[in-house]
Amino acid sequence: MSKEIFKGVATALVTPMTEAGVDYERFGKLIDWQIEQGINALVIAGTSGEGSTLNDAEHRQVLKFAYERIGGRVPAIAGTGSNDTAYAISLTRYACDLGYDGLLVVTPYYNKATQKGLIAMYKAIAEAAAKPIIVYNVPSRTGVNIEPATYAELAKIPNIAAVKEANGNISKIVELFALAGDKLDIYSGNDDQIVPILAMGGKGVISVLSNVAPKETMMICDKFFAGDVAGSAKLQTEYLDLINALFCEVNPIPAKAAVAEMGMCENYVRLPLTKMEEKNREKLISIMKEHGIL
């Protein structure tokens, strides 16, 4: 049985919130809108979904609500990573019991890990999981990088199916493809590197851009898969200004501001995140208008 979870674009979905808590009414509408736009998959309670500031009860309720609202219309992927491996295992088992199609598991942050520790952690989580795992490497946020040789070891573990690679180092990503690209599905974790990673054989992107431009993000992948590499690359460069604006402050601050400007959530993020600086927000809004999003 293939372990492929999705091909194309999975939106790393923001979680609508207010000061009172998660805004489930708008969350449901946002999920519906993404699916209506034709998105290939949804990631719930990841980095963009502010999973790190959801308490345990909220995290489980967000996962439950989203899975039920998605209702099998597209593959559902749950963010279940933690720097506490036992907690990551607990969340992973919960998401598997709900029926999620895959789990996005980030490397441990703050306590970091040796490469040996990463292998041991992912093995422990994979052994507890009933569904395939996407390893999430984002060293700019976690302080630890998964080396290509480590991926080769992780690829030997049943249930380790894929990688969301956001290390930004194309040379390391090429080495990853060389050592494990035939055993792991590889997704871009950076919207500005979709086409380069597809060109190496990547399966798609787990995207922040698609929170506000799902059709356009999918067109980047669709054109590439259809053989129109030049058209795909042209779209990638056309949307580079918006991609950069969505990352001019730490994610998901700009993404939340953008989705709020579209009327689909309140512009509210939890501490230690704060609202987008006004000058940056104005620039983001201007770029969104230039692209016809607003």
pLDDT at position 74 is: 98
41-82 confidence digits (pLDDT tens): 999 999 999 999 999 999 999 999 999 999 999 999 999 999
Considering the domain boundaries, does residue 63 fall inside one? Answer: yes
What radius of gyration do the chain's Cα atoms show?
18
Number of domains in the chain: 1
Active-site position among 122, 131, 151, 164? 164
136 has catalytic annotation: yes
CA 115 to chain centre: 23
Active-site position among 136, 151, 187, 239? 136
- Mean of per-residue pLDDT scores for the chain: 96
Considering the domain boundaries, does residue 57 fall inside one? Answer: yes
Judged against a pLDDT cut of 50, whether residue 161 lies above it is answered with: yes
Considering the domain boundaries, does residue 160 fall inside one? Answer: yes
Across residues 144-164, what is the average pLDDT? 95
pLDDT band, very low/low/confident/very high, at 1 (cuts 50, 70, 90): very low
Residue 183: give the domain boundaries. Answer: 8-225
Considering the domain boundaries, does residue 287 fall inside one? Answer: no
Distance between CA 124 and CA 40 in Å, rounded?
Answer: 29
Distance between CA 54 and CA 44 in Å, rounded?
Answer: 12
Q: How many helices (H) and strands (E) does the chain have?
A: 13, 10
Phi, psi of 246 (to 5 degrees): -75, -10
259-293 confidence digits (pLDDT tens): 999 999 999 999 999 999 999 999 999 999 999 99
Judged against a pLDDT cut of 90, whether residue 229 lies above it is answered with: yes
Considering the domain boundaries, does residue 272 fall inside one? Answer: no
What's the CA dihedral at 173, 174, 175, 180 to 10 degrees?
80
pLDDT above 90: percentage of residues in the chain:
96
Judged against a pLDDT cut of 60, whether residue 2 lies above it is answered with: no
What does the block give as tokens for 268?
A: 């509210």
Closest CA to 23 of 52, 56, 5, 49: 49
Across residues 170-199, what is the average pLDDT? 95
pLDDT band, very low/low/confident/very high, at 3 (cuts 50, 70, 90): confident
| Backbone torsion region of residue 266, taken as left when φ is above 0, otherwise alpha when ψ lies between -120 and 50, otherwise beta | beta
What does the block give as tokens for 5?
A: 């979870």
Distance between CA 20 and CA 189 in Å, rounded?
Answer: 31
The CATH code of the domain that includes 22 is: 3.20.20.70
Phi, psi of 130 (to 5 degrees): -100, 0
Considering the domain boundaries, does residue 23 fall inside one? Answer: yes
Considering the domain boundaries, does residue 263 fall inside one? Answer: no
Distance between CA 186 and CA 176 in Å, rounded?
Answer: 9
Considering the domain boundaries, does residue 255 fall inside one? Answer: no
